[in-house]
Structures are given as structure tokens and as C-alpha cells.
Structure 1
Amino acid sequence: MGNRGDKFKRRTFLKQLGGLGATLLLKPGTAFSADPSAITKPIPVTGERLPVIGMGSWITFDVAHNPYESVARVKVLQAFFDNGGALVDSSPMYGSSEEVIGKALKKIPNKDALFAATKVWILGKNSGIRQMESSQHLWGVKRLDLMQIHNMLDWETHWETLREWKAAGRVRYVGITTSHGSRHEALVKAMEKTPFDFVQFTYNLEDREVEKRLLPLAQERGMAVIINRPFQRGGLFNHVRGKPLPPWAAEFDCRNWAQFLLKFIVSHPAVTCAIPATSRVDHILENMGAGFGRLPNAATRKRMIGHFERL
């Protein structure tokens, strides 16, 4: 999922340096990095490692009707891969997003790291198969890395197909998603009885409900976790608007609020990857910076929660 107000809500306060002890000279188009190695986490079922910052495409890539915006998304994806990105997440629900991503990928030479993640979002087995085949065609890839059942729609029907596709090598991983708290109990029941490789749901400094059951259960069941709505559709930037970044954020190589919000998420032991969405290259660079340097430890995470709640 993504952030409809993304380009409006963080322009004025994402340039703070957070008291970093040195000035780093960066090449244009390079994300901040105190450590040149991107932070990665393992997919539990295989041990394959993914960078902790991915990219969502809800709303932001639904621009096939606008040639100028479609070209701009090529630059966004290019900056994503240039700065260590891999997992790109989409869905047939997101309008023309898959089409725009597929066309953009054809224009990007250094996309070998691509981890293509999309979803099935329709009723019925045969309709689901046709939709997944369409998605693969739109992406223009030989094989999708991850196919997820979007918002649990007809999930038991699609699960049977996904098992068959994975066994046949048509997809590498399979999963299930929700972005609605009302489905959390149903997701818990599904996770308890079904061996998903990935689960996806919402988690951020404002919405920490999944800490109670879903995150521990994913860890217990050996499932990778993708976090959607990391900025609460951009609303978290309203919460911190005009507030200075705490100087101690430098302790975990954080220089702006976007990185503060993302590093909180991906530092949770159960979280594999967060997928902020954006239409702007400068925001991609800010987001990708959260995937470098140090991550906050458990004590610092508590401090981050307290600081956020006092703002």
C-alpha cells in the first residue's frame, strides 16, 4: 500500500541531519549511507536475504494515462535499484501500476536484483489463474518471485493454486496480505494452519496492533513479513511536522523523519521488509537511506515510541 499525500506531507522537514558527527559528500542520486553495505534480512523458509527497504506502488504507479508521469516512474525505479533496492510490490487492485512497472523495467539496465512481488485479487480459481498470468505478462518477467493473496480475498481457493504454482516453479514464494485491522483475527487463523512463506500487513509508530499477535506468530511460524503503510498513508509526517529530529537519532545513523519512521519498523526482529510508496526520486533517496548504517536496538525502539507519542 502507499501514501496518497506522500509528495505533499514531508517536503519541509526531511532535510534535517539529526546531529550526525560528520558531513558526508554524496554523489547525486545516492542515498545517505554511513555504512556502504545495505541492511538485509533472511527470508526464513530459504535464508535468501532481502534489503529491508522495498517499494510499494499503490496510487503512485497508477499513471499509465499520463506519459510524463510514466517516464518519471522510470527515474524512481532507477534510483531504487541504484541504492540497493530489490523488492517491488504491486497488485491488480492498483489500477495500471503493474503495466507501468513492467514498461519501466524494460528501460532500466541494472534491475538484476529485482524481487517481483504482486498479488491475486479476484474471486474464483480460474479467474485467479488468469489474473496471475496477466500480472506476469504485465511485469515482463519470466517468473514472479512472490505471489500474495490480496486482502485475503477468496484465500483458501487461491492457496490451492499457489501451492501448485510453487511446486511447479511458476512462482518462488507465496503469501497473503491485509491492510485492515478488522481482518487480523482471520489472518491469525489462516497463519496458524497454512504454511505461507510471506505475510503482509500494516505496522508503524502510530499503529502497533500487530505487535501483540501477528508479528510474534510470523516469527514462530517462520514467515517473512512485509510491512505496508509504513507512513500511515503519509499521515505520520503530519504528526512530526515542524518538530526537530532528536539528536540521539544519529546513534542509529538516522538523518530525517522518514528514516526514523522506517528504521523503527525494520528493526523489529520479525520484520523482513517495509514498502513505502512514492512518486519522487528525492523521497526514494530518503527512504533508501533507512536501509543503511545501524538499526535501533530494543531499548532505543522504546525510546522512539515514547518520543513519538510525546510529539
Structure 2
Amino acid sequence: MTSTEFRIGGDLDVRRMGFGAMRLPTEAGPARETSLAVARRAVELGVTLIDTAHLYGGGANEELLAEALYPYADGLQITTKVGVARSGSGPEAEWKLDGRPHVLREQVEHALRRLRVERIELLQLHRIDPEVPLADQLGTLRELRTEGKIGRIGLSEVTVAELDQARAIVDVASVQNRYSLVDREHEPVLAACETAGIAFLPWRPVAGAAAGSTAEIAAVAGELDATPAQVALAWLLDHSPVILPIPGTARIDHLEENLAAAHVRLTPAHRARLDRLPLSA
């Protein structure tokens, strides 16, 4: 039986099927109202891990989640990411990696205010900035952890070598890399996380499967009375006990479809067929 829960960092209990908030529109109007409803419905359906980032609207996504969900239900964790900032202002401003200590600290302080919390239980470095020493980036997050402003430190889009380097500096509780049934470029990183008991949060977890990109996924879905996206998510849950999928959507029906994947049970034969699928380039 596939476990439905995981302890991030060994002590933070969450349900393995989470929700990625990136796709939620934040602009005023009907779309924002739908976004609020989607976030609330996710929690109603038992989600205890929601992923956001400073990059998503420059903090607007964080504010949206607070508006929708504060005061937070017991056990609900909203994880955010820092380390990407806009260069300058106005229409010409661009987002770029920025791991300078004062930027990371500022973004964490803003996230605390926007999320209306005194401590972020899981804070992830959105990307490693190659222009700033890794020890400076992670050292800043370690200082914030010591100050009680964050509980655990995670990484995003890292290689095995980068993960090893980071773990020599701080305890790493999570890794968020692109990964799915048909995109397994980061299988070595997943293996390293599994060995170390580190949570692995795949983003774009149903890429290539939501539309039934292969006949085999569609065939398995038909045999299980499920959708291709549900099969892709069920495969992730079954593939490794450290995987915590965070599928995102701006529609309640898609949200409900995704979360129902936790109840899809693959047989060994189904798993073998899916394991043999050709992978995307």
C-alpha cells in the first residue's frame, strides 16, 4: 500500500499529494475569485502542502493564498521560494536569479508579512545563483532558520553534485525539480533524495500525460477507469516514497481530478508498462 503521508525533514507531517499555486490568477476580477475558491477547495479536500514563490507575481500569489486561507487550518503548510528578483522597474524589468544575502533576507521578510505568519516551515531556494557563493546563499537561509523565521531549507532545480555541496553546508529537507512519468531527467537526483530521506517535489508532474500523450498511458487509464493525468500522478506516488507531487491548476474540476489520483491503484503489470514508456527529450 502506497503511503499517503511524508515527514519533511523528519518531523513535518504532510499529505503526499500537494497543490502548486503557480497557475492561480491574482488580478482583481472573476478569475481571482475562482483562484480563492480553488485554494479553499484544495484544503477542503485534505491538501496540507501548498507551494508558491516570490517569483509568482512578485509575492501576489502569496498574498492570494493568505486571503483565501488565513487563518490556516491545523497542519496546513504553505511553502514558498526565494532567490529570483526583478532587475529594475517598469516594463523593461526582467526576472533574474538573485541569491545575494540581502535579497534573500528581504524576500523572506516579505513572505512572512504576505502569508501572515511568523515562521515559514519550509523555505526553498528557487534556483542557485551561480554569481553568488553557495555558502553565502545557504548561510543566509541558515541564519534565518536560527532566528526562527524559517523551519527547514529546500532547494529547486539542482543536480546531484549541487545537492551534495549544499548538504555539506546545511541540512536539506526538500528538492523541487522538474520530473514526471515521461520526463525523468532528474532520476539521479530523486535517487539521492530517496537515499537521504529528502522530500522530492516534482513540478510539472503531469507534463505530457494530461492530454494522454502516449497510447499506453491512455490504455492504462481506460483499464483503471481513470484519466491520463491521474495515472501519471499515481505512478509518481508509487515510484518513490519521497515523491510529493504538487500539481497545479486554476480550475476546481481539474483540482478534484488531480487529488483523486491518490486513490488510483496501479497493479505491478501497469507499473511495468508505464516504466517502459519512452521518455521526452
Pair 1:185–1:42, CA change in 2 (3 A) = closer
Letter in 2 for 1:268: H
* AA matched with 1:129: R
Partner of 1:76: helix, strand, or coil?
Answer: helix
Question: Which of the numbers 225, 232, 243 marks the counterpart of 1:272?
Answer: 243
2:212–2:229 Cα contact (<8 Å) kept: no
1:196 match: 172
Picking from 39, 49, 52, the partner of 2:13 is: 49
Normalising by structure 2, we get a TM-score of 0.80
Answer 1 or 2: higher relative contact order, Cα 8 Å, separation at least 6.
1
Residue number in structure 1 paired with 2:153: 174
Q: Secondary structure at the match of 1:273?
A: coil
How far is 1:300 from its partner?
3.9
When structure 1 is superposed on structure 2, of 188-197 and 222-231 the one drifting more is: 188-197
Aligned ranges for residues 109-120 of structure 1 at < 5 Å?
111-120=73-82
Q: CA deviation at 1:52?
A: 1.5
Q: Give 1:217's aligned amino acid.
A: A
Query: CA deviation digits over 1:182-202, x for unaligned, max 9?
Result: x52553443553420111111
Contact 1:57 1:278 in 2 (8 A): yes
Amino acid aligned to 1:100: L
Which of 80, 84, 104 aligns to 2:46? It is: 84
CA deviation profile, 1:248-292 (whole Å, cap 9, x unmatched)? 853xxx622221011111222253311111000000101111223
- 1:4 aligns to what? none
Worse-matched range after superposition: 133-142 or 190-199: 190-199
Q: Does 1:156 align with 2:135?
A: yes
Q: Cα RMSD (Å) of the superposition?
A: 2.9
Match of 1:100 in 2: 64
Structure 1 residue matching 2:200: 3-state secondary structure: strand
Q: Partner of 1:207 in structure 2?
A: 183
Shift of 1:157: 2.0
Aligned to 1:165: 144
Q: 1:89 to 1:293 in 2, by over 3 A?
A: same
Aligned counterpart, 1:237: 211
Query: Which of 187, 200, 206 pairs up with 2:162?
Result: 187
CA 1:214–1:299: 2 relative to 1, 3 Å: farther
Structure 1 contact 91–120 (Cα < 8 Å) conserved? yes
CA contact (8 A) 1:39 1:51 kept: yes
Contact 2:234 2:264 in 1 (8 A): no
Q: Is 1:81–1:110's contact at 8 Å kept on the other side of the alignment?
A: no
Q: Taking structure 1 as reference, are residues 47 and 135 closer, same or farther at Cα in structure 2, changes over 3 Å only? A: closer
- Quote the offset at 1:41 in angstroms: 2.4
C-alpha separation in 2, matches of 1:191 and 1:249? 43
Alpha-carbon distance in structure 1 between the residues aligned to 2:135 and 2:269: 40
Whole-angstrom CA distance in 2 between matches of 1:242 and 1:175:
34
Once the two structures are superposed, what CA deviation does each residue of 1:43-73 show, in whole Å capped at 9, x if it has no partner? 3x32443211111122x12x33232111111
SS in 2 for 1:53: coil
Residues 1:306 and 2:276 are matched in the alignment? yes
Q: Which runs of 5+ in 1 are unaligned?
A: 1-34
Q: How does 1:21-32 map to 2 (within 5 A)?
A: none
Cα deviation, residue 304, structure 1: 1.7
State the Cα deviation string for residues 193-251 of structure 1 (Å, max 9, x = none). Answer: 3420111111111111222x21121122231111111022x67525148974427853x
For the residue of structure 2 that corresponds to 1:165, the secondary structure is helix
**2:216/2:274 contact within 8 Å kept:** no
- Consecutive unaligned residues of structure 2, counting only runs of 5 or more, are 84-97
The one of 34, 43, 55 equivalent to 1:72 is: 34
Tell me the distance in 1 between the aligned counterparts of 2:269 and 2:242. 17
Name the aligned partner's letter for residue 264 of structure 1: W
